[in-house]
Structures are given as C-alpha cells and as structure tokens.
C-alpha cells in the first residue's frame, strides 16, 4: 500500500508519511505518528498544530554505508 489513505485509517504509534491535501493544495508532507487525537514528531519531541488529511507508510530508510573512496 503506497497510495495515500484517509487520515482516519492511520495506525496509532507508528511512524507514517502524512500530508495535508485540500482546496488550498498539498503541503506539510512529513513523517509523523499518531497518539490519540494528536500527531507527533517521530522522536516524540512535540506535536504539530494541525491535522493531516492523508497518510501512507513511511519510506524505508537506507542504513547502508556508501564507500565513497572505493576501499574494501
């Protein structure tokens, strides 16, 4: 599932990609996690002062190190 879903179907306590997409356009695309009625930054440092309209699974982060110098 990579298409945007209505925000009412978003899981709780899971980092997901969110956005606002309404008559004013698309904005505020970022990863957040839902806890109760609030949306929090993934590190739980603070919540946002808006309600996203859509969500989709967060992009997997590549944790591999790239060897820029071609060493073994």
Whole-prediction pTM: 0.78
Q: Which residue has the tokens 């945007």?
A: 4
Q: Which residue has the tokens 């060493």?
A: 71
- Local confidence band at 59 (pLDDT 50, 70, 90 cut-offs): confident
Residue 32 pLDDT > 90: yes
Phi and psi at residue 4, in whole multiples of 5°?
A: -65, 135
- Helical (H) or strand (E) element with 30: strand 25-35
Q: Tokens in use for 72?
A: 């073994």
- Local confidence band at 63 (pLDDT 50, 70, 90 cut-offs): low
User: Per-residue pLDDT tens for 10-30?
Assistant: 999 999 999 999 999 999 999
């Amino acid at each position: 599932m990579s298409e945007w879903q209505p925000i009412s179907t978003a899981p709780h306590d899971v980092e997901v990609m969110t956005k606002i997409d309404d008559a004013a356009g698309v904005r505020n695309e970022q990863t957040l996690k839902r806890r109760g009625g609030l949306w929090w930054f993934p590190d739980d440092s603070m919540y946002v002062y808006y309600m996203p309209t859509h969500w989709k699974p967060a992009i997997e982060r590549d944790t591999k190190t790239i060897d820029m110098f071609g060493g073994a």
